[in-house]
Amino acid sequence: MKILNVVGARPNFVKMGPIMEALKSRPDSFEPILVHTGQHYDRALSDDFFRDLELPRPDIELNVGSGSHAQQTGQVMMLFEETCLEVKPDLVLVVGDVNSTLACSIAAKKLGINVAHVEAGLRCGNRSMAEEINRLCTDSISDYLFTPDPMAGENLLKEGIDKERIHFVGNVMIDSLFKYKEKADSLDYKSKLGLSNKEYGLVTLHRASNVDDASVLEGILGALREISDELPLILPIHPRTKKMVETYGLEKYLEYGDNVRGVWTAPPLGYLEFLHVMAGARLVLTDSGGIQEETTALGVPCLTLRNDTERPITCIQGTNSVVGTDSAVIVAAAKQVLGSSLAAKEPPEKWDGKTANRIVDVLSNSSTVAR
């Protein structure tokens, strides 16, 4: 089975690494071809992820780059259509919910090529989010829907998806986390900063709804500053966030230099460095979807700086709480976490590091791969 495996943004790399490894372990059955659309085009950051996750260099690079949602999606569709016509794959496998996920799914289906969507069925109910539209549209046309948890499968059934197309396989991001955690633990990044486990917090902040609005961004930064009076916070600052902080003149909330204090800004981290820091944190504050899952697997308390989540399993069975963007609520939630003891929790079902093999098992046993 010739499979085009699509990555477009850095979170996709974390999910695709284990899948590529599982496909390549069965050379008699699969010919995996890695396609990088170039949706995230920072070469240095992308190279870090490829190195850390031991991903092969992409067989095909589309080099799409930035643009509006429509421009980026349309450009990926045009270039990926050409790729499909040239390669003639039996299947296109997409992961996550970025523009490349939707674009490659549509291009493939218009050519009569089957599509497999890994991380299907996630819903937050907020259709103002571009990612929610990408999820809904991709799932509606996919032939294989690989879900990370039972709640995702229930969402798909409610939307009228045939249950025969739905496969509960678990969370492939956790495959990467378990595989590389020991290697990440061996790094000395924390010790170089003079930090010990549970003596600091970690922050990620990048969503447009949080960083493009001056009042929302200032409220979040003000809350982080107050929390940092009790617990120093490390903020590996996203280029978009850095730009908006400077645009709105909010540098006063952040700390720079060599000493970790206040809300201390660091450059973006590679996958292993980030996992190293996240696993040792006392608290994580984030607006990222994947980090909600990773903290659940690690047992690290997480506060999600959004009003909704497409990963409710992390709140029900994990360590995650959705707290919104009101500064007083964020501070109160953080103080509650810091004032309580850590309680061990079992990870959700099938978050065991074996998801990629389950995906490949389904594809191996399928008789519906012909276009």
Instruction: Look up residue 41 and give its two tokens.
Output: 């085009």
Closest CA to 271 of 175, 199, 129: 175
Residue 153 CA to residue 162 CA, distance in Å, equals: 11
How many helical (H) and strand (E) elements, i.e. helices and strands, does the chain have? 16, 13
Closest CA to 149 of 179, 177, 122: 122
Indicate the SS3 state at residue 90: coil
Q: Which residue has the tokens 């990963």?
A: 311
Indicate the SS3 state at residue 227: helix
User: What is the C-alpha end-to-end distance of the chain, expressed in Å?
Assistant: 11
Active-site residue, 36 included:
no
Q: What Cα–Cα distance (Å) separates residue 86 from each residue in 6, 81, 111, 284, 337?
A: 16, 9, 12, 45, 54
Residue 62 CA to residue 284 CA, distance in Å, equals: 34
Q: Which residue has the tokens 């991709």?
A: 138
167, 206, 238, 276: the catalytic one is 206
DSSP 8-class letter at 235:
E
Residue 247 CA to residue 202 CA, distance in Å, equals: 23
Residue 145 CA to residue 133 CA, distance in Å, equals: 16
Task: Tell me the sheet residues that pair with 146.
Answer: 118, 167
Residue 69 CA to residue 52 CA, distance in Å, equals: 29
Residue 117 CA to residue 105 CA, distance in Å, equals: 9
Instruction: Look up residue 239 and give its two tokens.
Output: 């280029």
DSSP 8-class letter at 255:
B
Residue 115 CA to residue 140 CA, distance in Å, equals: 11
Query: Do 220 and 305 meet the contact criterion of CB atoms below 8 Å apart?
Result: yes
As annotated, the active-site residues are 206
